[in-house]
Structure formats: C-alpha cells, structure tokens
Chains A and B, each alone.
Chain A
Amino acid sequence: MSKIIVTTQKGKTRELKGESGSSLMEILRDADMGVAAICGGVCSCATCHVYINGEWGKKLPPRSEEETDLLKELESYDPSASRLSCQIEFTEELDGLALTVAPEE
C-alpha cells in the first residue's frame, strides 16, 4: 500500500493511504487533516497550502504560474517547500511523501 506522511498544524503525524488519481488535497480532506480547500481544487483560494518536506519537492511537477501567484502572497510562504495540495496529483512515485499542513490564514 502506498502512503503519505502528514504532520498536522497541531503537530500530530499520521500516515494516510495514497490513492492514485486523487490530489493530495483530496486525500487530506478525506482524512480531516485540517485543510479547508474552499475552492475545491480550482487554484482560486490557497486554503490547501502545505509544505513538502525534504527532498520530495524535487520529485513533484513544477508549480504553474497561477499556483505561484497565489502562494507568493501568503504570509506563511516558503519558496523552497510551499505547494497548493490541490495542484498535485498522487502517483505511485510519490509513495512515502512527507508533508506538513501550513497554518490557516
């Protein structure tokens, strides 16, 4: 079973089942991990912000211009780790990916 490792805002760490065809946001939302994801994944709200831990960032498809435009305006933006979880689809290559849910703004 492929998995992702999530650290919540409250500092708890949990393993979630990774499902191909789902975005990281959907996996987090399904498990009540505290991502609001208000726009439902259409890159219009930035309420699905996460930090990708360690080297995993390099394995992900790059940010689109839209994703960057939203992310850069967040107070909690970290250029090296910030991503919108709705813009990343889970695939088998991401088995073991570790991320931290960013604070709500």
Chain B
Amino acid sequence: MTRTIVIVGAGQAAAQAIQTLQANEFDGKIALIGDEAYVPYERPPLSKGLLAGEIELEKLFFKKPAYFAEKGIDLRLKTSVTRIERAAKRLKLDDGSTLAYDQLLLATGARVRRISIPGADLSGVHYLRGIDDVLGIRAELAPGKRLVLVGAGYIGLEVAAVANKLGTQVTVLEMMDRVMARVVAPAVSAFYDQVHRAAGVDIRLQTGVVAFEGDGRVTAVVTDKGDRVAADMVIVGIGVVPNVELAKDAGLAVDNGIVVDDCCRTSDPDIFAAGDVTNHPSALMGRNIRLESVQNAVSQGRAAALAMLGKPEPYNEVPWFWSDQYDLKLQIAGLSEPTDEAIVRGDPATRKFSVAYLRDGVFVAINTINMLKDFLPAKKLIAEKRVVDKTKLADPNVSLKEL
C-alpha cells in the first residue's frame, strides 16, 4: 500500500519539504493543505518588492500552480485543518471532510500578534503577513497619505522605506529605545535610525500606542505620551505568535512552539514539524530556540522530509537572515545577545560596514551592511566558534578569512 504524507500549512517550509521529497524520488502520495488562497510563496518580498510594486505576484510562487497537478500532489487551498486525530491517524478539515495520513508534517508557521487597544478594529488598521494583506495595504497607500507604523522591527522599517519612496508621510512609533532592537547591535540601530530620519521618516522611540481613533475609519493614533498622530492608515508590526493550536489540542509537546528534536520529530513518531512554528534545539546556542526566518524554514523543511523518508540528517546551520531597506543590504548571521561585545568594521558614514559580536572572545554573530564579502566567511567563523584577534577584526581591510 502506498504511504501518504500530509503537510499542513502551504508556506516556505512546506515548499522545501516537497522539493526534498521530490529530489529523493519519494513514491508515495503527498497532500498539501493550506488555508490561504495561494500556492506556497515567499514572504520576504511582501514588505519589499511586492509592496513597492516592483515585482509581480507570480514571481513569489516557488512553483507554478500547474506543478502540483503534474506531480500528483493533492493540493487543497483555502482549506484549514481543524483537528488531528492521532489514534485514527487522520485530520478533520473545515470543509467537513477527513483525510488519513501515515506521516504528518505541521508547517503552520506563525500569525501576526494583534494589538488589543481601543479602535483596533477600525478600517485602515492593517497587519502584514500574507499576500492579501499587501494587496489591502497597496490599495490605500498613495503619495501624500499619512501612514503610522506601530513597531520598528525590520519588517516595519522595510515598509517605512517603501512607503517613504512612494511619497507617503511615515511616522514610526516604537516602544523600545532603538529600532530593530531584537535583531541588531545598538550601532546598527543608530545607523538605520539616522538613515530613515534623513529620508524624512518621523521615528518616535520609547513611545507606546494606547488607542486608534476614528469614526469607522482610523484618523489618529494616540500615544502613551498623550500625543495624537494624524493617520490615514496604520500598519501594526509587533511580532508573531506560532500556530501551535492543532498540535496542542492533539496533546503534542508545545512550549513557545511545537517541540521538535534536531531532525524535526515531535513527541509522536508519525508527526513532524518545521519552520516558524517549531521550538528546536540549537547546537550553536546550546539551548532550545524558536526562529522566524526563511533559512530556518528551509533547513527544517528539508530535515523533516529526510526524517519522514527514514534518512534523518540533523540540521545545524548557523541561523541567518537579511533585510533590504533603501539601497542598504543588511545580512545577519548568528544570534547575538545584548551582553556581547560589538566590534565595528569600517565606517558607517560610507554606508558599507559590519558589526561583529564576540562572546567571551568567541565570534558569535555578524551584521553586514552593504558588506557582502564579510557574510560567508563570518558564517564559517560562527559555525567553528572561532576565537579571533580583535585588532585584526576591527580592520575592514583584513579579510575575515584571514582571522
């Protein structure tokens, strides 16, 4: 009898798992269930090229829609899985049907964290996670409009850069004392802060939001300082929460994500999980972590597929990530902590520099800004947990390969 693998969630991790199953000539059946209206697509361009109108929607799809039929994949879009019945090894879908599995991959990703303040339901208040969100935002974004962004994470700042270029008046409200505080060093935050301000973006730090005002449609944002910022539209970017409910209801181990081992296996031998939704061991950090990045979704999508094929191979890639704002290419590798020592390579004024992070002398992370040549060698230094010479490290003319 042929084996059936069912994948829940048609996102980045699912797309990679299918690619790995195909490359390994898996001869069973594959079913892919996704609650969005689209075949698996890339999210990074949502806040970059797609929002800017620089690329077409079709470019986001990993595979052409015809691919799934050609490969005999049972693809069901706009369909959500509501329950896992582990004893019977089948799923309940929201169209009332059931679907049996031999092996199950949970690739349900994460959803945006909603803000719960008065006015949160007004029209003109947006979030950004999927294609439909971008289409909604783009329909309203126009020169001269006033856009308020809640949260100065990298996605918020990418949107700020695009909206600013489109001639929108942008205000960013951020609770923390610096932008992108979760992902970069203070020196890099300061640099991006200055770049956005120079472009005309109004950034207000240490500023919380207490209410959205308007009659049906948002017209102002009230801050915890008592200020009222006029707004034609708002985009809230205050983080995401993993979609763990299915797993939790089914009694799988869940702890800020579905708990998996280094081959993406959950506490049920027939159920696997990959991507934003997992809480997984990090060899680099020596503890469990949850990541929200394409690299993680790809590494784990691949690892989950191999584990399902009975050829488990642990993933242990150095986490990495990128963000594009204006003409600036930011690449991040490794995971830095606030207590790490930060060493700047090059002069931020040239718009081309890196910041390396040392923990007890060990090279643990890097942020590169338009400094592509540092990126791959840094990844290697991080993987090898290399102790490096600080004087050489601070000299941008010394290649990281020579450390």
> Cβ of B322 and Cβ of A42 under 8 Å apart?
yes
> Cβ of A70 and Cβ of B294 under 8 Å apart?
no
| Main SS at interface, chain B | helix
> Cβ of B23 and Cβ of A44 under 8 Å apart?
no
Q: Within 8 Å of chain B (Cβ to Cβ): is A72?
A: yes
Of A34, A36, A39, the contact of B322 (CB 8 Å cutoff)? A39
Q: How far is the CA of A26 from the CA of B63 in the complex (A)?
A: 9
> Cβ of A46 and Cβ of B376 under 8 Å apart?
yes
Of A34, A40, A44, A72, the contact of B331 (CB 8 Å cutoff)? A44
> Cβ of A72 and Cβ of B373 under 8 Å apart?
yes
Given contacts A30-B63, A39-B322, contact A73 B376 (CB under 8 A): yes
Given contacts A30-B63, A30-B64, contact A40 B372 (CB under 8 A): no
Q: Within 8 Å of chain A (Cβ to Cβ): is B42?
A: yes
Of A32, A70, A73, the contact of B19 (CB 8 Å cutoff)? A32
Residues on B with C-beta less than 8 A from A36 are 298
Given contacts A42-B322, A66-B329, contact A73 B298 (CB under 8 A): no
> Cβ of B377 and Cβ of A39 under 8 Å apart?
no
Total of A-B residue pairs, C-beta within 8 Å: 53
B16 to chain A, nearest CB (A): 8
Q: Within 8 Å of chain A (Cβ to Cβ): is B324?
A: yes
Residues on A with C-beta less than 8 A from B23 are 32, 34
Residues on A with C-beta less than 8 A from B44 are 39-40, 42
Of B22, B48, B298, B329, the contact of A38 (CB 8 Å cutoff)? B298
> Cβ of B298 and Cβ of A70 under 8 Å apart?
no
Q: Within 8 Å of chain B (Cβ to Cβ): is A93?
A: no
Q: How far is the CA of A39 from the CA of B333 in the complex (A)?
A: 13
Q: Within 8 Å of chain A (Cβ to Cβ): is B375?
A: yes
Residues on B with C-beta less than 8 A from A43 are 329, 372
Q: Within 8 Å of chain B (Cβ to Cβ): is A3?
A: no
Could you write out 20 A-B pairs with CB less than 8 Å apart? A26-B59, A30-B64, A34-B23, A39-B322, A40-B294, A42-B48, A42-B329, A43-B329, A43-B372, A44-B322, A44-B324, A44-B331, A45-B320, A45-B322, A46-B376, A66-B329, A66-B372, A73-B375, A73-B376, A73-B377
Q: A39-B44, A44-B375, A46-B376 are in contact. List 15 more A-B contacts (CB 8 A).
A: A32-B22, A34-B23, A38-B294, A38-B295, A38-B298, A40-B45, A43-B329, A43-B372, A44-B322, A45-B320, A66-B372, A70-B376, A73-B373, A73-B376, A105-B376
Using CB atoms and an 8 Å cutoff, list the residues of chain A in contact with chain B: 26, 29-30, 32, 34, 36, 38-40, 42-46, 66, 69-70, 72-74, 105
